[in-house]
Amino acid sequence: MIVLIKKIAIKILEQSVYSANKENGRLHLLDTLKKVVPDVTKQYTTFDVDTPHLMAMVRALHAFQVSLVQKVWALLDKKNINIVDIGDSSGAHLMYLQAADVSGDRVINATSVNLDSHAVDKIKSKGLNAIECRAEDLVGHPEYEGKNVDILLSFETLEHLFNPISFMKSISDSVDDAYFVVTVPYINKSRVALHQIRQESSNDMYAENTHIFELCPEDWNLIFKLSGWEIVYGEVFRLFPKKNILFVASILWKKFAFDGHYGCILKKNNTYKNKYKSW
């Protein structure tokens, strides 16, 4: 009986994500991305994406993230674009963006950044450029210095950092005129996460599987402004639909993971960064 209930719950979670994608008009994009990267099982280093609802969740998140980058295309009047993906685990997003059916006739010059040597090897094995270093140490790294960056990506990374404010400020300091596309888990009340410590787990902790700060969009937006950015666009993507019975899956998603994800497009703006005199 318990096994049957679990199967039903997983099916509801999977179908709720499909319905959410349909409601947001991303089914075509989802199909396109599947053709570019058919297998997302090894998306991460510390765990496998090996169940239907996890696969649906990861696919939906990727489609949401790529849709945000597509909005930036409309803001950039250029064909040759330099992208740096900070916290990239597999190179999947850069493969999506380099695919002709996603990015049109643009030329994408892409570099990934990750502190995990296994992730870097995985990315390089796909023919992509990668820098092995902590996100917080990127500015000043010889492979980053001097890059003319148009778009920075940070997908599900900020919540893993010890000091996201210093990181965001350092990136703002390092660019002249760039967009920063960010996604983080969506929650409506900010908290310190560190779930392994809360549960007194005896397992090792890694940057990839450890959330430190889980903040609501309003608090993230304040941090972005302080650290040298303005919010050009923001959107919450929930893993369940708003307009049909599968909305009930929100109860399961809250128990299993998160309601969804908050994504935003940032552009450098020093207004509040310059007002803070104690950097």
CA geometry: angle 69, 74, 77, nearest 5 deg:
115
Asked: is 2-275 a CATH 3.40.50.150 domain? The reply is yes
Kindly compute the dihedral angle of the four CA atoms of residues 178, 183, 189, 190, in this order, to the nearest 10 degrees.
Answer: -60
Count other C-beta atoms under 10 Å from residue 93's C-beta.
24
Q: List the chain pLDDT tens, one digit each, 279 residues.
A: 666 777 888 888 889 999 999 999 999 999 999 999 999 988 888 788 888 888 999 999 999 999 999 999 889 888 889 999 999 999 999 999 888 656 567 888 899 999 999 999 999 999 999 999 999 999 999 999 878 899 999 999 999 999 999 999 999 999 998 999 999 999 999 999 999 999 999 999 998 899 999 999 999 999 999 999 999 999 999 998 988 888 888 888 777 777 899 999 999 999 999 999 999
CA neighbor of 135 nearest in space, from 102, 105, 109, 111: 111
pTM of the predicted structure, to 2 decimals: 0.93
Decide: 169 and 273 in contact? Cβ < 8 Å: yes
